[in-house]
Structure 1
Amino acid sequence: MVKRATNYANRGKSLEIAIETANAQYDAREVALIDKVATPVKVKKLDQRGQIESGWYDHKSTVDYKGITNGVSIAFDAKSTTNKMNFPLKNIKSHQVTYLRKHQQQKGISFMLVEFSVHQEHYILMFDQLAEWWAEAVQGGRKSIPYQFFVDNCIRCGPGRGIALDYLAALPQVN
């Protein structure tokens, strides 16, 4: 029996769509202006329609989303996992942690928006929480954050104010 390679191309796509929809609604209501950060790509070859056929990432991106709400800068990365019991820290890159740390040092709000797709739940993992787990993993400790930690210690977000994933309403710092 031949084992097929797992395709992760669309993992998190529904989360991205939910965030983009929320961001459009925030913008329309003049609540916030939050944009998806494009990953810089160096183009090697274009097809006849001008679409990128081949290329490579020019340099590491920062995080998925940056913006401002109520005069406060926010930066976050969105991650989705199919794991039932934990969120693997390998899903986060060190340059993302570095960016979120620097953003927070400048008085911005930095966090991860984590989706547990099996549970159909979304949580905000504030940067300080992430930093503790990250430091432990770097020192050889646990390489994942237990699902129960999210349930007990993180901010759960979901529908509200007519927005399917109203993550800003869950942030006490901006409300």
Structure 2
Amino acid sequence: MVFHYPNGRKYASGTKYGDLSTSRPLQINYGKRGMTLEEDLNESNQYYLSQSIAVVHKKPTPIQIVDVHYPKRSAAVIKEAYFKQASTTDYNGVYKGKYLDFEAKETRNSTSFPLQNVHEHQILHMEQVLRQQGIAFIIIRFATLEEIYLMEAHHLIAFWNRMLSGGRKSITKQEVESTSYKIPITFQPRIDYIKVIDKLIAKE
């Protein structure tokens, strides 16, 4: 089956997670590299749900089907489809009466986080969430370092605006460390970002 991204490029199953900024509902094969950020977050969210801690789900990416074959009357095989451009962020949900909305990005760059991994419509969406008193953020994984950070949306928006003003097109690793919360990898849940959310709520 052939999938295409909104720019028309074919989806390649071997593409590294952080190289393209479009959201992917399909699994990326990392071989022995371990689980992707998306898989870890999905497992973590399932743990939160099973323990009645929080209700957070990944938003499905719309797919436009353009070619379907019917080898049998009772079966349909999708031969070609396109990933539609996502309009918001990767995940949303509710925790302790607070609306959560966040993006998850992974990069193999060990010294900075490229802002090309984020889309303008995602920044605008986060701004809208903040105006409604929701909690918006981005979870960043530096894959080669196996380090994960939670950055609040207002910091991400500030770095984005710096870029628009002619500044650097990435966030340095040092800037990520100074403006974000580091999340350790644990057994259950794998990425316990709710502990950070507790800190954000306590600050309000």
Letter in structure 2 aligned against 1:91 = N
Q: Is the 8 A contact 2:44 2:188 kept in 1?
A: no
Q: Percent identity?
A: 26
Q: 1:83 aligns with which of 105, 109, 118?
A: 109
**Matches of 2:184 and 2:37, distance apart in 1:** 12
**Matches of 2:76 and 2:89, distance apart in 1:** 27
User: What is the DSSP-based 3-state SS (H/G/I as helix, E as strand, rest coil) of the residue aligned with 2:190?
Assistant: coil
User: Match of 1:44?
Assistant: 66
User: Match of 2:82?
Assistant: 56
**Matches of 1:173 and 1:136, distance apart in 2:** 24
Q: Is the 8 A contact 2:47 2:188 kept in 1?
A: no
User: Match of 1:115?
Assistant: 141
**Given the alignment of the two structures, is residue 25 of structure 1 paired with residue 47 of structure 2, yes or no?**
yes
Please report the TM-score for the alignment, with normalisation by the length of structure 1.
0.88
Residue 54 of structure 1, CA deviation: 1.4
User: Match of 2:172?
Assistant: 146
**Matches of 2:79 and 2:166, distance apart in 1:** 40
Residue 155 of structure 1, CA deviation: 0.5
**Given the alignment of the two structures, is residue 35 of structure 1 paired with residue 50 of structure 2, yes or no?**
no
Letter in structure 2 aligned against 1:30 = S
Residue 153 of structure 1, CA deviation: 2.2
Letter in structure 2 aligned against 1:81 = T
User: Match of 2:190?
Assistant: 164
User: Match of 1:128?
Assistant: 154
User: Match of 1:3?
Assistant: none
Aligned pairs for 1:87-102 within 5 A:
87-102=113-128
Residue 140 of structure 1, CA deviation: 1.4
Give the superposed CA RMSD.
Answer: 2.1
**Matches of 2:48 and 2:16, distance apart in 1:** 25
Letter in structure 2 aligned against 1:112 = I
User: What is the DSSP-based 3-state SS (H/G/I as helix, E as strand, rest coil) of the residue aligned with 2:191?
Assistant: coil
Q: Cα gap change, 1:86/1:104 in structure 2, threshold over 3 Å: closer, same or farther?
A: same
Please report the TM-score for the alignment, with normalisation by the length of structure 2.
0.76
Give the length in aligned residue pairs.
170
Structure 2: gaps spanning 5 or more residues: 1-11, 19-27, 29-35
Give runs of ≥4 in structure 1 deviating > 4 Å: none
**Matches of 1:143 and 1:7, distance apart in 2:** 27
Structure 1: gaps spanning 5 or more residues: 1-5
Q: Is the 8 A contact 2:185 2:191 kept in 1?
A: yes
